[in-house]
Chains A and B, each alone.
Chain A
Amino acid sequence: MIANKELVFSKDLANKKVHVVREFDAPVEQVWKAWTESEILDQWWAPRPWKTETKSMDFREGGRWLYSMVGPEGERHYCLADYQKIVPNKSYTYIDAFCDENGNKGEDFPNMHWLVEFKATGQGTTVAIEISFSSEDSFQKIIEMGFEQGFTMALGNLDEVLAK
Chain B
Amino acid sequence: MKRDVFQAIADPTRRAILSLIALQPMTPNALTEHFDTSRQAVSKHIKVLTECQLVKQEQSGREIYYHFNPKKMKVIADWLEPFRQLWETRFNQLDAVLNNLKNK
Contacts and interface: CB of A to CB of B under 8 A. Distances in A.
Interface size class of A (residues with CB under 8 A): 35 or more
B10 to A, nearest CB: 4
B94 A18 contact: no
Contact of A40 (B12, B88, B97, B102): B97
A34 B18 CA distance: 40
Contact of B96 (A7, A44, A47, A151): A44
Contacts of A34: 94, 97-98, 101
A60 interface: no
A31 B85 contact: no
Contacts, number: 102
B92 interface: yes
A13 B10 CA distance: 9
Interface range for B: 20 to 34
Indicate the member of A25, A44, A146 with the most B CB atoms within 10 Å. A44
Nearest to B91: A22
Given A24-B98, A26-B101, A143-B9, A154 B85 contact: yes
Contacts of B93: 43-44, 47-48
Contact of A2 (B9, B80, B99): B99
A15 to B, nearest CB: 9
A11 B80 contact: yes
A34 B85 CA distance: 20
B97 A43 contact: yes
A2 B95 contact: yes
B94 A24 contact: yes
A48 B77 CA distance: 24
A71 B94 CA distance: 19
A7 B87 contact: yes
